Structures are given as C-alpha cells and as structure tokens.
Structure 1
Amino acid sequence: MAALPLIVFDVNETLLDLQTMEPTFERIFGEKGAMRLWFANLIMYSVVLTLADSYVPFTDIGSAVMKMLADTRGFKISDDDKTELKEKFSTMPPYPDVLVALPKLRAAGFRLFTLTNNLIEVQARQLEHGGIVNLFERLFSVDSVKRHKPAPQVYAHVEKELGVEPSQLCLIACHTWDTLGAVAAGWEAALVKRVGNDVLPVGPQPQIVGDDLTDVAEQLIARHRGRV
C-alpha cells in the first residue's frame, strides 16, 4: 500500500495572514489596497529576476518594490518605513484555521514541511513568532537554489533533499502560480482559496481546492484514507 504523501506548505499568505500588513501600507500610501498591489509586484519581480538569472533575496525585492511604488506615486519611503515593512512581514500571525488544520494532518499521519521564497532565517522567525515552527519536520527555502518559485529547480531541490519521487509530494498553497509549478513538476497540489486567490482555469490544475486550510486538510485525509 502506498505511503502518505509528504505535505509541503507555502508560508506567506497560505499559513500567515498577509492582510495584517495593510495598516503599514495605509499609513504610507493612504490606502490599504496598496498592500495587494505591492505583493502582486513582489511576486512578479521575483519571477522576472529568476527568469533573468538574477537572484535577489525575497525581502530585498519587497523593499525595492515598495520604493518603486512610492516613486510612481510621489511618496518618500524612509529607512524606518523599510524596517517596519520587514518587521511586519516577519511577524504576521497564522490564520486561525492553520492552528486547527496542522495538528489534524499530523494526527492523521502526514509529515509536514515548508517551502518558501523567504530566506531560512526570515521563515524561521515567522513560524516561531506564530508558534507553529515545531509542527514542521524541516523548513526549505528557495535560497538553496537561488531561484524563486515556481522555478522547477525549487521543487526538484526538495525532492532531492527528502529522497523521494515527485509523486510522493503534495504542495499546499493559496497561490495558483505555486500550485501550477508544483503540478507541472509532478507533485500533487492543493489550493486554499484565501481572500483574493482562486483557481486559474488554464494550465496544470490542483487536485484539491478548499475554502480554507481545514477544508483542504479534511479533503487530503479523505483522499488518502487507508494508506499507511
């Protein structure tokens, strides 16, 4: 009988509440919606830099994108603003459903890991601050391969480190670009429909879609029931 897949979690917004950063953007830009524009550009430029074979740490891209958005709007970004951005990003709290779903998956026998664009030290601080770091067996960062998700080298690195085939892994994320990359790499994937995130009806599709992480966890448990 096949073993349970190893579960690999995205961190930013999948586990941690990105909306808690909105007050910082509202203070600087006068509108909390600027946070969504910032994050979308952060992801876009992380991918563009990867395609251009120019690796820059994720939080450094975040600071640069914040300055770029400010410059286009005629705002000045201070060093204190950049420090606040990094601090808020490193201390986002976990969503309430995370505190329910992770123990549920572990109790069902699943082994849990993370894979994020963040540096290991940023990720570790995030998860320690959220009180959930001990629920994961190992933390992975794109910094190991100097490519941001969804570059195939990122998923291949996790496979190599864990000594498993792609089909033995399942990514859980709330971003379609991430589940798309995982499925293209041969992984199973589950999409959590956080606010502002949903299925993209083209390209490789996730096998599971849930309204929150508890929903996804229950679907995963049901999907693999009977495996040991």
Structure 2
Amino acid sequence: MSLKGTIIFDILGTCFSLNKPRQALVALGAPAHTLELWFAQTLRDAFALSHAGHYQPLRQILAAELPRSLAVIGVETTEQQRSQVLDIFTQLELQTGALIAFNQLQSDGWRLIALTNGGEESTRKLLQQSNALPFFDRILSCDAIEKTKPHPDVYALAKRESRDEVWLIAAHAWDVMGAAMAGLQTAFITSSEKAYLGVYPQPTIVAVDLGDAANQIIEWVSPQQQ
C-alpha cells in the first residue's frame, strides 16, 4: 500500500480529553469552566513567553497559572491539592473513538505524527498507556525548538518530518490557523470550542470528532491529486 501523506495530530484537548483535570478542579469546589480559564491563561502566557524569547515548558506554566486561576474564582487550595491536579495530566484518557480513527487513517495509508506544546516524554507515556503509541511514527514537541504553536517554525519542524500531502487535526482554532498559514491542509474539531473564528484562514474540513475527521480526510481528494 502506497503512503498518501502525513496526518499531524495536536495532543492535549484533541487526542486526549481534559475531563479528568476538570473533574479534579470541580472536586476542589471550582466551577466546571475553571478548566477552560486555567488552560486558556496557560496558553496565553506560554505564547507570550515564547514571543518574548523566553520559552518555558508547558507543565511549568500550568503549575504557575493554577493558583492564579483558582484565586480569580475565589477557591482556596493547598499546594498538595494543586500538585494532585497537575499530576492528573499524566493520566489523561483518549477521546472516544480515537483508536479507531488512528487505525482507519493508518490503514488507509497515512503516516501519523504527534505535534504538541507539551513534553515529548510525557506525550509518549500518554500514548503508550492508551495503546496508541504504535500508530505514531514520530512525537514532536515544541520543547525541541523552544517556540510554541502557532509559531511558523513549529509547523516547519513537522513538515520536515512529513511527506506528500500534510494535514493537521486539532480542536483549537488558533492551532488550525497556524497550520493553515503554514500551508497545511487542516481539520478543525468542534467538540470543545464549538465554532471556528471568522478572522482566521478557514479550515479545509470541519468535523465533530476524531472519527468524523478521519472519515472526511479519507474521502478527501486533494486538488493536487486530481
């Protein structure tokens, strides 16, 4: 079977659900939307540090942001409680249907690559404990070049490891935007953010979940291949 191209997957929030840390925050007395506040502030400050030339690994920023996010909503916690919430990021679960989607794409001749703002080793462990690691040829972390997505250099890193037609699948509009600006085909998954942003370059396809994205990509006929 000939290879059709490369599918690049975002990891946190796309391949892996953030429901476990959400539940841990709720158990501390925080409202359910605290997870979105915490994660959004973490990404904002990760982007800011990267843009300012002082990159920091994502886990360090998650740890720094957590007490501030909880203070904003008026929830008091101990350092031990916050540490337990952070540790849950090592126990994330795959999104429903993820393994089926990975298998469909691989069986159809696509090469799969993970591209994450998280750490390479932590991502490898998540994929391994979820029985998903064999589907992925490479795991690429922004730590390798000390720049966060959606910097063009991150997608250039992934493109150097790719061949033929290249897609990015992500549940974050800003990630899809960055990939589109870098010349990739893109699939936006609506499960988290619900709607795409009108000021961004539009995604190639819009899907409700990983399975839907896989099916649409398999059915897609690239204009370059016509």
TM-score (norm 1): 0.90
The equivalent of 1:95 in structure 2 is 95
Over 3 Å counting, the alpha-carbon distance change for 1:163 and 1:94 in structure 2 is: closer
Once the 2 structures are TM-superposed, how far is the Cα of residue 76 of structure 1 from its aligned partner? 4.1
Counterparts of 2:128 and 2:8, CA distance in 1: 17
Q: SS of the counterpart of 1:203? A: coil
Once the 2 structures are TM-superposed, how far is the Cα of residue 211 of structure 1 from its aligned partner? 1.0
Amino acid at match of 1:78: T
Unaligned 5+ segments in structure 1 are: none
The equivalent of 1:6 in structure 2 is 6
Amino acid at match of 1:216: A
Counterparts of 1:182 and 1:163, CA distance in 2: 13
Amino acid at match of 1:220: I
Deviating more after overlay: 112-121 vs 23-32: 23-32
Once the 2 structures are TM-superposed, how far is the Cα of residue 71 of structure 1 from its aligned partner? 3.4
1:144-183 correspondence to structure 2 within 5 Å: 144-160=144-160, 162=161, 164=163, 168-183=165-180
Amino acid at match of 2:179: A
The equivalent of 1:120 in structure 2 is 120
Residue by residue, what CA displacement relative to the aligned partner does 1:164-187 show, whole Å, maximum 9, x if unpaired? 5xx732110010000000010111
Over 3 Å counting, the alpha-carbon distance change for 1:53 and 1:221 in structure 2 is: same
Deviating more after overlay: 22-31 vs 3-12: 22-31
Deviating more after overlay: 193-202 vs 117-126: 193-202
Counterparts of 1:70 and 1:110, CA distance in 2: 42
- Does the 8 Å contact 2:171/2:192 carry over to 1? no
Q: SS of the counterpart of 1:111? A: strand
The equivalent of 2:66 in structure 1 is 66
Counterparts of 2:174 and 2:43, CA distance in 1: 9
Once the 2 structures are TM-superposed, how far is the Cα of residue 129 of structure 1 from its aligned partner? 2.1
Unaligned 5+ segments in structure 2 are: none
Percent identity over the alignment is 28
- Does the 8 Å contact 2:34/2:70 carry over to 1? no
Residue by residue, what CA displacement relative to the aligned partner does 1:60-108 show, whole Å, maximum 9, x if unpaired? 1111110112333454443322321232112111012212211011111
1:1-228 correspondence to structure 2 within 5 Å: 4-160=4-160, 162=161, 164=163, 168-224=165-221
Amino acid at match of 2:11: V
- Does the 8 Å contact 1:172/1:179 carry over to 2? yes
Counterparts of 2:93 and 2:63, CA distance in 1: 20
Q: SS of the counterpart of 1:154? A: helix
Moved beyond 6 Å, runs of 4+: none
Count of aligned residue pairs for this structure pair: 222
Once the 2 structures are TM-superposed, how far is the Cα of residue 202 of structure 1 from its aligned partner? 1.5
